[in-house]
Amino acid sequence: MGIYLIYFVIIVLSNTIGAVSGMGGGVIIKPVLDTFGIHSLAAITFYSSVAVFTMSISSTYKQLKNGIKVNWSQSLFISIGSVIGGVAGNKLFVFLLDFYGNEREVQLIQIVLTVVSLGLVLIYTLGSGKTLQLKQPVAYLLVGLFLGGFSTLLGIGGGPINVSLLVFCFGLTMKDATVYSIITIFFSQLAKLVEVGFSTGFGIYDLTMLFAIIPAALIGGYLGGVLSGKISDKAVSKIFVVVVIGVIFINIINGIKLF
């Protein structure tokens, strides 16, 4: 019962913060669950994907009810790219596990890539804030492809990497970028879960954990959507920066523990 409660609390809090900031929760869930080390790396990555996928459903519903406007043609191209990237990212994750034969090296790769990418995100967020203002459909497709693959490989669902790249490439506001980020998370994680279902299957995981994970993700995503409708872009940006710094710190601690 204690394990279920730990996962429930972590996922509610992570997905609430993730839905507000567009991080998707996974960028917090994954390293925190790594710290506890209750399950294997593959299982933690799977549980994180289920959590952020569930969160993306409830959060998107609430954001749309809040009156957030979505350009559906742009969303379509991002979504197509995310699906392809989600499948590719999961295949690469499985390949790395097989190639190294143990989880330590793969976890180190995830940690290094996460810390480096979050560091770049922080530099950009606190820096000039220049944008490319891309408008071409192929740009949305390629960005979705990259974000879907990268986030699935890292097991973080997307997170601040999504938001920053969307702001940089398309000149979106932070709040608008969070909506597109969550759409990207939905399709990339859906693609990953379908890929898992057709490859290894779900039987290799303790599926009873989902009785805690799914309700927690729904609650966190809904609460995040509610809060997002009540706070300003400036407040979202501040939450974003604080959480990025915190997640970098947690990942560095987890990396040190592996040596």
- Mean pLDDT in each 10-residue stretch from start to end of the chain (259 residues)? 90 83 76 90 89 80 69 85 90 92 89 91 81 89 91 78 87 79 83 85 90 91 77 78 88 89
pLDDT at 23: 66
- Helix/strand/coil for 100: helix
Q: Which two tokens stand for residue 208?
A: 């009873």
pLDDT at 213: 94
pTM reported for the whole predicted model: 0.84
Distances (CA, A) of 16 to 48, 196, 246: 14, 26, 16
- Cα separation, 20 vs 250, in Å, equals 20
CB 26 within 8 A of CB 148: no
Which among 198, 172, 196 has a CA at the least distance from the CA of 184? 172
Q: Which long-range contacts (CB under 8 A, 24 or more apart) does 132-139 make?
A: 132/168, 132/169, 132/170, 132/171, 133/170, 133/171, 134/169, 134/170, 135/170, 137/73, 137/74, 137/77, 138/77, 139/169, 139/170
Characterize 19-28 residue by residue with b for buried, 16 or more Cβ atoms within 10 angstroms of its Cβ, and e for exposed. bbbbbbbbbb
Which among 46, 16, 62 has a CA at the least distance from the CA of 156? 46
Residue ranges per structural domain of the chain? 2-257
pLDDT at 26: 78
pLDDT at 88: 92
67 contact partners, CB below 8 Å, separation of at least 6: 229
Instruction: Provide the 10 A C-beta neighbour count for residue 36.
Output: 12
- Torsion of the alpha carbons at 234, 146, 216 and 63, rounded to the nearest 10: 50
Q: What angle separates helix 26-36 from helix 233-257, to the nearest 10 degrees?
A: 30
Instruction: Provide the 10 A C-beta neighbour count for residue 130.
Output: 9
pLDDT at 191: 86
Distances (CA, A) of 5 to 13, 48, 156, 216, 257: 12, 15, 21, 10, 24
